[in-house]
Amino acid sequence: MTDRTTRRWRGVVAIALLASVVGVLANRPSLLLLASVGVVYGAYPRVTSAREPELEIDRRLSDDDPSDGDPVEVDVTVTNVGDATVPDCRVVDGVPPMLTVTDGVPRCGATLRPGASASFSYTVVAKRGIHSFEPATVVARDLSGEHEVETSVATDTEIDCTSGLAATTVRSQTLDRSGEVAGSDGGAGIEFHRTREYQRGDPMNRIDWNRYARTGDLSTTEFRQDQAASVVCLVDARECAYRSRPGDPHAVALAAAACEQLATAFAADRNQVGVAAFAHRFVWQEPGMGPDHVADVRRLLSRDAAFSSQPPSESVDLEDALSDLRERLRSRTQVLLLSPLCDDEIVDAARRLDAFGHAVTVVAPDVTVDDSPGTRFARVQYTERVRRLRSAGIPTVEWQSDEPLEAALARQRAGGATFTGGASA
């Protein structure tokens, strides 16, 4: 809670004293009366103070599981549950940073007596991802308007716009247990992998009898196994990554939303998923599974200062952060890097991680424009960094900031890119 004065009545006492002096010198009783009124107005705020309001907020959505691009109406009701009247109450709702208000305004002002409520509504357009509403900001002033208190009122509300997204960016670096990712090792499964020489003890139903009939040689058919992956979604949230196109969210906001979206999809496919970030410090959440772990990931992405809407004053030393990350990664954990590729250091970090045995895939929000020589040069740099990653065998998805992530993944798959080429560690 923040308590401050508005200085609304600043100067009233000085004017009142001036009026009283003029009234005495000019022998004008009316000025003396006016001066006394001014003194009362100037003194009243000094003997009063604003109390923190006791409010509750109820936020309802017309659709909490919309498709990308669908309008969602948000109805907000603020209720005074205290025993004192709030003469001047102003409420601004905590709209998720990635969502755009298209109709109405997410704020209201009212006088709230005990038990009274004020309501307002507005409409946002859903975008891919899971978007948590932030606490509503409340500014309450006393009757004089001289004192005001700023506080927040929270209630858990989120828009889940992830239906239909498949975790297709996982490469073949997998764990030895059942999952939804096609592994690089052969064995029992449903997709043909290879034919090898028969070994004693191989199941009879996997012998290639057609080949035996043709050549007389015994061979065993192997199928690609479905295995689970261990994935760490790594967000580039350094100061230099806070780039954006005019009117669009910056790259860190896009990366955090995509991280939440992909982590949820990975977990739904029974993969272990964790989160890391290069920001003003190194951020780490151990890979795990289950609804509780997914909830922890969402809280981290929505509340940790590393994913703030404002760039940090300084960034972590990338070399130290990379060493810290390597120490925490397990031998078969792969990395999904979400970065606008704003400098060569992050490209080198991705290539080093891949060389260390952790299969790396990059999702690169493209926030460059070409309306000036400087911005055109930034686009050239972005394109060159994508080329360098792909030449190193690292799958890289170019994601336009104004398109759904799923569309970028589908376009990459249609272009012939594969996410199953990483070697097992």
Give the separation between CA 216 and CA 79, rounded to whole angstroms. Answer: 84
Q: What is the pLDDT of residue 226?
A: 47
Q: Return d(Cα 367, Cα 243) in angstroms, integer.
A: 7
- Over the stretch 312-332, which tens digit does the pLDDT of each residue have? 888 899 999 999 999 999 888
- Residue ranges of domains in the chain, CATH in brackets: 2-47 (no CATH), 55-161 (2.60.40.290), 227-414 (3.40.50.410)
Question: Of 137, 135, 136, nearest to 148 (Cα)?
Answer: 137
How far apart are alpha carbons 35 and 45 in whole angstroms? 17
pLDDT tens digits for 47-98? 555 678 899 999 999 988 888 788 999 999 999 999 988 888 999 999 987 7
Q: Give pLDDT, residue 313.
A: 86
pLDDT tens-digit readout, 205-215: 767 777 767 78
Of 164, 287, 276, residue with least CA distance to 228: 287
pLDDT at 6: 52
Cα(60)–Cα(74) distance, integer angstroms: 6
Q: What is the pLDDT of residue 141?
A: 84
| Mean pLDDT, range 295-312, rounded to an integer | 89
- The 10 Å CB-count burial string (b at 16+, else e) for 259-282 is bbbbbbbbbebbbbbbbbbbbbbb
Span 100-110, pLDDT tens digits? 899 999 999 99
Helix (H) or strand (E) holding 149: strand 147-153
When the pLDDT of each residue in the chain is averaged and rounded to a whole number, the result is 80
pTM (whole model) above 0.85: no
Q: Residue 369 in contact with residue 245, Cβ under 8 Å? A: yes
Say if CB 166 and CB 180 are below 8 A apart. Answer: no
pLDDT in tens, 253-271: 999 988 988 888 888 878 8
User: Once rounded to an integer, what is the mean pLDDT over residues 132-151?
Assistant: 83
Quote the percentage of the chain above a pLDDT of 90: 38
Start-to-end C-alpha separation, the chain: 52
Which tokens belong to 363? 């999702």
